[in-house]
C-alpha cells in the first residue's frame, strides 16, 4: 500500500514539475554563435536596428545553406524569432544584453563603441521567444 502511494506521489510530482519547467529549446534568449551571413545583412541590419527573421524562408536572404541548417536546428519559428544585428566598426566594439526583471519579460540590448580604428565586421544573432519584448538603448 505504501509503495503504491509513493509511486502515485512521484508520478504527480514529475507531472507538476513538467508543467512549470521551461520547454526545451524555448529559453528567453539564446545567442547563436559561429554563423556567417551574406553581405546583404550589413545593408538591412545595424547595431541599433536588427533584422527580425520569422521564418527560414525570410532568413535565406541573409544566410547561406550551412547557417540556415544551424538556425533550423536551433529555432522553432512558431514560438521563436531571430534578431540579427550586423555592423562594421572597431574590433573592440562590444554588444550585450540585459534581461530586466519584469513581466512580461524584457530584454535591453546595448552597444559600446570600441576605441581602435580598425574596421571589423560584427554579427550577433539571438533567438528570442516570440512573446518577449526587446529594445536597443
pLDDT tens digits, 73-103: 999 999 999 999 999 999 999 999 999 987 8
CA distances from 46 to 30, 62, 83, 95, 110 (A): 19, 13, 11, 12, 12
Residue 88: predicted pLDDT: 95
- Among the listed residues 57, 121, 129, the one whose alpha carbon sits nearest the alpha carbon of residue 85: 121
pLDDT tens digits, 35-71: 999 999 999 999 999 999 999 999 999 999 999 999 9
CA distance 47 to 136: 9
The partner residues of 99 in beta bridges, in order of sequence, read 107
Residue 26: predicted pLDDT: 60
CA distance 87 to 45: 7
pLDDT tens digits, 113-125: 999 989 999 999 9
Task: Give mean pLDDT, residues 3-26.
Answer: 41
Q: What is the dihedral of CA 82, 115, 117, 42, to 10 degrees?
A: 10
Amino acid at each position: 500500500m505504501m509503495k503504491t502511494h509513493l509511486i502515485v506521489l512521484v508520478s504527480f510530482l514529475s507531472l507538476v514539475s513538467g508543467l512549470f519547467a521551461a520547454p526545451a529549446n524555448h529559453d528567453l534568449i539564446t545567442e547563436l554563435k559561429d554563423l556567417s551571413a551574406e553581405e546583404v545583412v550589413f545593408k538591412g541590419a545595424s547595431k541599433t536596428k536588427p533584422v527580425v527573421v520569422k521564418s527560414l524562408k525570410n532568413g535565406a536572404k541573409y544566410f547561406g545553406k550551412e547557417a540556415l541548417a544551424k538556425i533550423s536546428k536551433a529555432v522553432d519559428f512558431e514560438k521563436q524569432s531571430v534578431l540579427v544585428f550586423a555592423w562594421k566598426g572597431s574590433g573592440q566594439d562590444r554588444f550585450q544584453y540585459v534581461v530586466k526583471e519584469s513581466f512580461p519579460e524584457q530584454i535591453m540590448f546595448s552597444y559600446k563603441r570600441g576605441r581602435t580604428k580598425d574596421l571589423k565586421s560584427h554579427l550577433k544573432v539571438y533567438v528570442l521567444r516570440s512573446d518577449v519584448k526587446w529594445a536597443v538603448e
